[in-house]
Amino acid sequence: MSLPLTAFAAPAPAAPPHTGGLLLLLGGTPGLLTVAALGIVLLLFLIIKVRLQPFVALLAVSIAVGLLAGLSVTELFGTVQRSDAVSTIESGMGGILGHVAIIIGLGTMLGAILEVSGGAEVLASRLLNLFGERRAPLAMGLTGLIFGIPVFFDVGIFVLAPLVYAAAKRSGKSILLYCLPLLAGLSMTHAFLPPHPGPVAAAGLLHVQLGWIILMGVVCGIPAVLAAWAYAAWIGRRIFVAVPQDMVEAADEARQAVVAEQRRAGVEPRETPVPLATVLTIIGTPLVLILAATFSSIALDPSPARSVLEFLGNPFVALTLALVLAYWLLGIRRGWSRKSLETVSTSSLKPVGNILLVVGAGGVFGAVLKASGVAQALSDTFHGVGLPVIVLSYLISLVLRVAQGSATVAIVTTAGIVAPLLAADHSSQAFTALVIMAISAGSIFASHVNDGGFWMVAKYFGITERDTLKTWTVLESVLSVAGFVVAGVVSVFV
Task: Choose the weakest-confidence range: 138-152, 204-218, 249-263.
Answer: 249-263
pLDDT at site 22 = 53
Cα radius of gyration (the chain): 23
Q: Provide the residue type at 156 as one letter.
A: G
Contact 234, 214 (CB under 8 A): no
What residues have CB less than 8 Å from 463, skipping those under 6 apart?
175, 176, 241, 457, 471, 472
Among candidate residues 477, 402, 460, the one with its CA nearest the CA of residue 176: 460
End-to-end CA distance of the chain: 20
Round to whole Å and give the CA distance between 403 and 398.
Answer: 8
Lowest-confidence segment of 122-126, 431-435, 441-445 by average pLDDT = 122-126
In contact, 61 and 366? CB cutoff 8 Å: no
Residue 384: the pLDDT is 73
CB contact at 8 A, 208 and 168: no
Please state the rounded mean pLDDT for residues 76-104.
Answer: 82
State the SS3 of 198-265: HHHHHHHHHCCCHHHHHHHHHHHHHHHHHHHHHHHHHHHCCCCCCCCHHHHHHHHHHHHHHHHHHHHC
Top pLDDT among 29 and 213 is at 213
Q: Report whether the peptide linkage leading into residue 181 is cis, meaning its omega lies within 30 degrees of zero.
A: no
Round to whole Å and give the CA distance between 193 and 217: 6
**How confident is the model over 258-302, as pLDDT tens digits?**
566 666 656 665 556 788 899 999 999 999 999 999 888 776 777
The pLDDT, as a whole number, for residue 315 is 94
**CA gap 14, 449 in Å, rounded:** 41
How far is it, in rounded angstroms, from Cα 316 to Cα 312?
A: 9
Residue 164 makes CB contacts below 8 A (sequence gap 6+) with: 140, 175, 178, 179, 182, 461
User: pLDDT digit string (tens) for 14-60?
Assistant: 444 454 555 545 557 788 888 888 998 999 999 988 989 999 999 99
Structure confidence at residue 422 as a pLDDT band (50, 70, 90): confident
**For residue 454, pLDDT beyond 80:** yes
- Counting every residue written for the chain, the total comes to 494
Instruction: Return the pLDDT at 292.
Output: 92
Mean pLDDT (the chain) is: 86
Residue 7: per-residue pLDDT: 38
pLDDT at residue 20 in the model: 52
CB 120 within 8 A of CB 147: yes
Q: How far is CA 86 from CA 9, 60, 115, in A?
A: 13, 19, 43
**130/177: higher pLDDT:** 177
Angstrom distance (rounded) from CA 371 to CA 12: 7
Maximum C-alpha span of the chain: 73
Write out the DSSP string of 397-440: HHHHHHHH--HHHHHHHHHHHHHHHHHHHT--HHHHHHHHHHHH
Q: Work out the pLDDT band at 9, boundaries 50, 70, 90.
A: very low
Residues 6+ apart with CB under 8 A from 173: 236, 240
For the whole model, what pTM was predicted? 0.87
CA 478 – CA 228 distance, rounded (Å): 6
d(CA 407, CA 105): 19
- The confidence score (pLDDT) of residue 192 equals 97
- Angstrom CA distances, 111 to 42, 297, 343, stand at 36, 30, 14
